[in-house]
Amino acid sequence: MNHRLDEKKLYYQQTITIWENFCQFHKELYDLTCEEYLTLLESDIESLEKMLPVKEEIIRKISELEKDRADLINKLNSSALFSPEIKRAWDMLNAFSDLENEGSVPILKNLHALLIDIIQKIQEQNKKNQVFLNKAMISIREVKDGFTGKKQFTTYGANGQTRSLNR
């Protein structure tokens, strides 16, 4: 069998493993982000505080995977197996397109599509969490101002900046 083809298949397997791990950790991050939203709705600050280190650990693991992917890209480029230099994730997918086409299922492209979907869901959930937090901060400010007897009105100026008026 062709030694270069075996080497390419080995790199392909390493790439698949990295993408599987990306999907796993991003799914964990998504699940935690959804749980964070429910915890925000319940106003359970203690649970939120416990989630933060878990979230940071998942993000740290994703960062390690980013380093692994960068190292793999360097190995692929130094192997001289691929004529165009690999610079991005999409370049890696294209580099293995012949192996993807050989199999009955394009594993790497499916994992990549899944990863993109999970990341988009995380972004959407983070927006929901942020909207909830913004509303909560506004409510807290209004309650605080109510105790001090101040009325505060917020308007938008011509430049789109918010202006607060105290009365």
Residue 21 domain-assigned? Answer: yes
pLDDT at site 73: 94
Q: What averages of pLDDT result for each successive group of 10 residues across the chain (167 residues)? A: 88 96 98 93 89 96 96 93 89 91 90 97 94 80 70 64 61
CB 115 within 8 A of CB 22: yes
Residue 146 domain-assigned? Answer: no
pLDDT at site 154: 63
50-58: Cβ within 8 A, 24+ apart: 55/29, 58/25, 58/28, 58/29, 58/32
Residue 134 domain-assigned? Answer: no
Number of domains composing the chain: 1
* Structural domain harbouring 55: 3-122
d(CA 94, CA 86): 9
Residue 150 domain-assigned? Answer: no
